[in-house]
Each structure stands twice: as structure tokens, then as C-alpha cells.
Amino acid sequence: MTKTIKVALAGAGAFGVKHLDGIQNIEGVEVISLIGRELDKTKEVAAKYGVGHVTTELSESLAIPELDAVILCTPTQMHAEQTLACLKAGKHVQVEIPLADSWAGADAVVAEQKKTGLVAMCGHTRRFNPSHQYVNQQITAGKFNIQQMDVQTYFFRRTNTNALGQARSWTDHLLWHHAAHTVDLFAYQANSPIVQANAIQGPIHPVLGIAMDMSIQLRAANGAICTLSLSFNNDGPLGTYFRYIGDTATYIARYDDLFTGKEEKIDVSNVAVSMNGIELQDREFFAAIKEGREPNSSVGRVLDCYRVLHQLERQLAQQQ
């Protein structure tokens, strides 16, 4: 494909804007439609980014004849259904993490992708952050092997708000959203499937109906282990921090930045064409469309992550 890829973006909130910012740096791509829950706010975002078509219905955008692809930055609970709708409409699709909030949903998406042959990718951003790419390059070169990953995912969300502190219409989830990042990254970096997974969770929030604290342990077939702590109750430094403990080094990754175990910053500016993980993720999506290939973090390649999440969900249900 050599023509400009015409894209619709669904979800004009905090994460949708990150994609719009990243796409501005990518040649041969044009966002032609913006879908949002609140029409007036969506129109404001569309005007800022020069998007001509605005709607509150995904189906309206899917009906645009020249549309090639869709990026979904919508509530978690809608991901599987909307991804299926895009594929059935003949559109390439990138859905933000998580692929689904159930094993059945994730499995159905992969089955539909195989049927259509379209590019279907999930936004497992950690595969694309320059920090994690650097570690992956060390692993691929045989210079580093993971013995243990220690991960903290901490937010302060005792009310239903998004990354910008704005009120949100849907409830986020520690397991199906935030743990998905680490479960997938651990297996990806260890280059070994997860063979053991355990989880415990704290009290259920009386209003949000979700656990606000969770602890997960993982073991890969090659013996590497991972410990993940998650919280929406953390009133302190926010974000996700990855400590890679290996046989030759220790690395600490904070989103796109990387440090040694002694907090010495590592230059990762030459790892990729950008220091923005979201932009790099989008670049992979559009490159896969143009080259007619399977992308890194295709729905098929991340499916095993959702098998593990399903197993953990069943464990947690038995604890209640």
C-alpha cells in the first residue's frame, strides 16, 4: 500500500489525544474521522487536529468508503465488540490495551482476524517504549537474561477519573487493563511462556465495585519470575516502574526512560526513530498495513496474555 492511510480514531479523551499527537509525526497517514461520546468536546478536539468528520457512532465512521483503519481508545468494556465490528466492516484495527475484558472476547477477536486476514493489533505499549526495546535488544544479542522482574503499577484513583483527573463514564480495572501490560511484557522479554500465575487482591471498593489493590506472581517456562504490585490507593509518586534483574545487569524502566540499578540514566535516544512509545506503537501499526505483514503485538501474538488474565480472574473469584 502506497497511498495515504485514512484513519478513524474512536475515543477523544486523554489517550486518544496521545495518539493524535503521535500520528502528526507519521507521514502517509491522515485522521479523517473522530468518534467521541460527547459531541461538543469531540468537535473541539477535531478542530484542534484538523479532523473533518465528527460523530458519536463508530458505525457512522465505518461506513465511510475511503476509510482504511481504525484506532480504538474507548472504554475497556467495549474493546472486543468494537474490534470485531471494525474487522467485519473490512477495516484494519488497532485497539488500545486491553484487547478484551474476558477470555471469550479476546479469543473471538483472534478468530475473526484469522478469518479476515486484516491487520489487528493491540496497544501493548511496553513492547514499543525505547526503554524496554533497549532491554529487548540486549536480550536478543545474548548480553542479558532476565532472572526476575519487579514491577509497581501505582495510581491514586479513589474516584472514577482518567489520566488527566477528569471524570470518567466507565470503570478501569487493575487486572484486565494494568496487569495486562506486565503479563505480556514479562513473557515477551523472557521469550518464554508463563507457566505459573498467582494473584491476591484487597477489598472491593463499595462504589466502583473493583479491587483497588492487587498482587500477582508469575513464572515463565525458562525459570524467570515476576512480581507485580498494583494499586489505585497510592497517594504518592504515580506510574509504572519496572526493575529488570538479570544475570549481567539491572535495569529500571520508567515509561520511555531507562536507568541502571544505581539510577544512572542510559541513553536510549537512538533505539528508535522517536522517544514516544505511543508514536512508535502507531508507526508499527501503519507499517504493518503498508507492508502486508503481522505487527508486533498483533492480537494473535498477545492472546496468551489474556489466557493468563483469565486464569488469574478465576483465582480471584474463588477468594471472594
- Domains, in order of start, for the chain: 5-123+277-297 (3.40.50.720), 129-271 (3.30.360.10)
Asked whether the predicted pLDDT for residue 305 surpasses 80, the reply is: yes
Arithmetic mean of pLDDT, 308-314: 97
CA proximity to 9, closest of 51, 65, 63: 51
Neighbours of 169 (CB within 10 A): 10
User: 212: phi > 0 → left, psi -120 to 50 → alpha, else beta; which?
Assistant: alpha
At residue 14, the pLDDT reads 87
Asked whether the predicted pLDDT for residue 164 surpasses 60, the reply is: no
At residue 93, the pLDDT reads 98
Where does the pLDDT of residue 209 fall: very low under 50, low under 70, confident under 90, or very high at 90 and above? confident
Asked whether the predicted pLDDT for residue 161 surpasses 70, the reply is: no
CA dist 187 and 147 (Å) reads: 12
Asked whether the predicted pLDDT for residue 173 surpasses 70, the reply is: yes
Asked whether the predicted pLDDT for residue 149 surpasses 70, the reply is: yes
pTM of the shown model: 0.93
How far is CA 107 from its chain centroid?
17
CA dist 243 and 150 (Å) reads: 5
Arithmetic mean of pLDDT, 173-197: 96
pLDDT tens for 69-79 read 999 999 999 99
Arithmetic mean of pLDDT over the chain: 94
Neighbours of 274 (CB within 10 A): 18
Do residues 250 and 261 lie in contact, with contact meaning Cβ atoms separated by under 8 Å? yes
Where does the pLDDT of residue 160 fall: very low under 50, low under 70, confident under 90, or very high at 90 and above? low
Arithmetic mean of pLDDT, 81-89: 98
At residue 210, the pLDDT reads 84
Asked whether the predicted pLDDT for residue 236 surpasses 90, the reply is: no
Where does the pLDDT of residue 171 fall: very low under 50, low under 70, confident under 90, or very high at 90 and above? low
Arithmetic mean of pLDDT, 166-195: 87
Asked whether the predicted pLDDT for residue 101 surpasses 60, the reply is: yes
Where does the pLDDT of residue 319 fall: very low under 50, low under 70, confident under 90, or very high at 90 and above? confident
At residue 239, the pLDDT reads 86
Asked whether the predicted pLDDT for residue 320 surpasses 80, the reply is: no
CA atoms within 13 A on the CB side of 19: 30
CA proximity to 213, closest of 255, 186, 178, 170: 178
Do residues 82 and 58 lie in contact, with contact meaning Cβ atoms separated by under 8 Å? yes
Where does the pLDDT of residue 241 fall: very low under 50, low under 70, confident under 90, or very high at 90 and above? very high
CA dist 69 and 8 (Å) reads: 6
CA proximity to 254, closest of 135, 98, 166: 135
CA dist 217 and 48 (Å) reads: 44
Burial class (CB in 10 A: 0-12, 13-18, 19+), 67: buried
- pLDDT over 70 for what percent of the chain? 95
